[in-house]
Amino acid sequence: MIVFLKIKNILKRELDRYYEPFTSCSNFKTFLFNLFPILGWLPSYNWKNDLTADIVGGITVGVLQIPQGIAYAILSRQEPIVGLYTSIFPVFIYIFFGTSKHASLGTFAVVALMTGLAVEREAYIPSDNLNSTLLPGDQELPSPIDVSCALVLGVGLVQFMMGVFRLQFLTTYLSDQLIAGFTTGSAVHVLVSQFKELFGMRGLVKHSGPGYLIRNVFDIIMNMPNANLMCCAISFVTMVLLQCGKEFVNPVVKRKLKSNIPIPWELVAVILTTIFVALTNANDVYNVKIVNKIPTGLPELSLPQPSLIPRVLPDAISIAVVVVAVHLSLSKMLAKKYQYDLDAGQELYALSFTAIGGSFFPTFPTSIGLGRTMVGVESGVKTQMATFFSCLFVLSVSLYFGRFLETLPMCVLSAIIVVALKSMLWKLGDLPGLWRLSKIDCCIWMVAFFATVLVDVSEGLIIAISFALFTTILREQYPKWHLLANVKDTDEFRDTQHYQEVIFIKGICIFRFDAPLLFHNIECFKKCVEKAYESWKSSPEFNSVYQNIQNFQPHHPGLHRDPILSRHFVIDCSGFTFIDLMGVSALKEVFSDLRKKQVQVYFASAKIPVRDMFEKCNFYDFVSKENFYPTLRDATGIARLRQNKFGFIDTPRAPEFDEVSNVTNNLPNH
């Protein structure tokens, strides 16, 4: 009955949250300002101090959006112009709903890769020419952009449901190490997928299924003699230009000019190689594959195909989780650094509205970009207004300058992607240090990496999350336990293995179990108690010394009830964050076993949820409340008083816990 009442109260509280805005004008106004944060920050925008910084920062980010948008559109198996649309329309929608001042939404390598895998599975794509038309026999298959828009809508719906049910906490299960291993493994997929265009190869066989990446690498190695030498040369020069420009030229320019605005070397590479191919006619003479026609003007609105959503729903869930996890972690970090409030729940709605609105345009899923965001921060971005100028700049390029990029070599886009992956792939060098710090976290990283590389991206994410949860269970299954002692000249009790200046109390053992006491670790708990008892039994502190105190007046009401044992075992319950029914049964069994060994048992520092569970389970009928104390100091103090008062006298009654009856009562009769 109590459980149903709690569920009813929770449901009522959640429903109140949704109808309360419509109960009064002031509540509705608050609701609108929360739903549209732009209503709060735009009227108070500091046009004098922030406008210039936002214009410069927004254009700087927009310059990066152009080559990245085109490159990642190819990675997501879309037309190049789709990457520019993805950097405009969904990003513009975020301005109205987002609370992060610095987040730069747009294309992201991992999300583009996951999109491309879904598109390859569900749509027909010619093997060597993305711009070719569908064959007559493939008319029943959806087009790549139809699959992409359905995927975008699916991602938006998943994120919207996460916002409605406040599921942003789920991203906490994606630890930094899991995300790092997953993104690094995804970066390997992206890297291998770019070798084909990087070397100008044609006619490679498509592979799918677990281990397809290994087969792709084998095919690329076997086809190296067929590589296009001009594509190889252009790719090599582009990567050298990007690497030298970013690593050597930009720091010098920043130091000399005292400017935080970096030179956009990706855009420089795009312009130079486009001019080179146009002048040399390399696409015809050397068979260098180019972008070809890029349409100008605004795209037409179209409805996503709802029938495709069930087919791409698993991909949508994976992408939504990755987008939310990366977005919230980076946005929270920047909000904390620059001291402004970030509403995580509102960010879920902002991302969902961004995706749902973007699905009516030819786009693919968007995500925050670490590189772009940090460039924007360094360029002086102050508010979301910078996003508006970024969208405006990319829009002007797509409307008026797209046709000048028709001779852009595809190998240059691949080179840009490969150089952008450097920071992700460099995380492999962090493994030795991570292994020294935490072997479990290192294992999570490696499982996420190898599962993603050897199986597939979406499946790798599921395997990584499952393994991370398994390690959590494993750590609670076999947690650490400690024997405590009094730290010299203090009232504190600490682990005897980490403190040297400690005082052991004769005849008193203090035990702590660092984990919740649940069904999966109660056997470990009982074994740890037994080990602690054996360790205590073999120590000099096992036997107490009787001291007769004259005229002793006890200050605890329990001192006159029953004769008290001379050996006392104190269980520090501070490590029990919560406890279940089997945990309570385990405590009864431990209490009974120790009393049979002539040992009095105390419980100290129990948290409120644990004490509430004791009340519900009638634990105090089995163990008197006089055995419970708020602190270790109180428990050990009473134990010493009882030693001094009663010496080695045993108690006439030691309650026995019937474990067989407890188990059989919880099993079905048939």
Helix (H, G, I), strand (E, B) or coil at 513: strand
Q: How many CB atoms lie within 10 A of CB 556?
A: 14
* The token pair that represents 274 in the structure block: 């486009």
**What count of residues does the chain have?**
670
Confidence check: pLDDT of 589 > 90: yes
Rounded CA separation 505/514 (Å): 22
The confidence band for 352, taking pLDDT boundaries of 50, 70 and 90, is very high
Specify the pLDDT at position 366: 95
Burial 292-327 (b: 16+ CB within 10 A, else e): bebeeeebeeeebeeebeebbbebbbbbbbbbbbbb
Mean pLDDT lowest for which of 366-370, 532-536, 586-590, 638-642? 638-642
Condensed to tens digits (0 to 9), the pLDDT of residues 386-413 reads 999 999 999 998 888 878 888 999 999 9
Confidence check: pLDDT of 166 > 50: yes
Condensed to tens digits (0 to 9), the pLDDT of residues 302-350 reads 899 989 999 999 999 999 999 999 999 899 999 998 999 999 889 999 9
Rounded CA separation 406/281 (Å): 12
Sign of CA dihedral 465, 466, 470, 473: positive
Specify the pLDDT at position 657: 54
Residue with tokens 């992408």: 319
The confidence band for 378, taking pLDDT boundaries of 50, 70 and 90, is confident
The confidence band for 425, taking pLDDT boundaries of 50, 70 and 90, is confident
The confidence band for 184, taking pLDDT boundaries of 50, 70 and 90, is very high
Q: How many CB atoms lie within 10 A of CB 279?
A: 9
Specify the pLDDT at position 651: 39
Condensed to tens digits (0 to 9), the pLDDT of residues 559-572 reads 444 444 578 999 99
The confidence band for 45, taking pLDDT boundaries of 50, 70 and 90, is very high
Provide the angle, in degrees to the nearest 10, between the axes of the packed helices 176-198 and 439-454.
30
Q: HSE on the CB side for 204, CA within 13 Å?
A: 27
Specify the pLDDT at position 646: 59
Specify the pLDDT at position 138: 59
Specify the pLDDT at position 113: 92
Specify the pLDDT at position 93: 96
Q: How far apart are the first and last CA of the chain?
A: 26
Confidence check: pLDDT of 206 > 60: yes
Specify the pLDDT at position 658: 54
Give mean pLDDT, residues 579-604: 93
Give mean pLDDT, residues 489-498: 85
The confidence band for 427, taking pLDDT boundaries of 50, 70 and 90, is confident
Specify the pLDDT at position 108: 93
Specify the pLDDT at position 548: 44
The confidence band for 484, taking pLDDT boundaries of 50, 70 and 90, is very high
Give mean pLDDT, residues 122-127: 73
Specify the pLDDT at position 298: 86
Give mean pLDDT, residues 252-269: 86
Confidence check: pLDDT of 494 > 50: yes
The confidence band for 54, taking pLDDT boundaries of 50, 70 and 90, is very high
Give mean pLDDT, residues 39-61: 92
The confidence band for 661, taking pLDDT boundaries of 50, 70 and 90, is low
Rounded CA separation 551/547 (Å): 13
User: Are 517 and 583 in contact, with CB atoms under 8 Å apart?
Assistant: yes
Rounded CA separation 449/429 (Å): 13
Give mean pLDDT, residues 506-526: 91
Give mean pLDDT, residues 602-628: 91
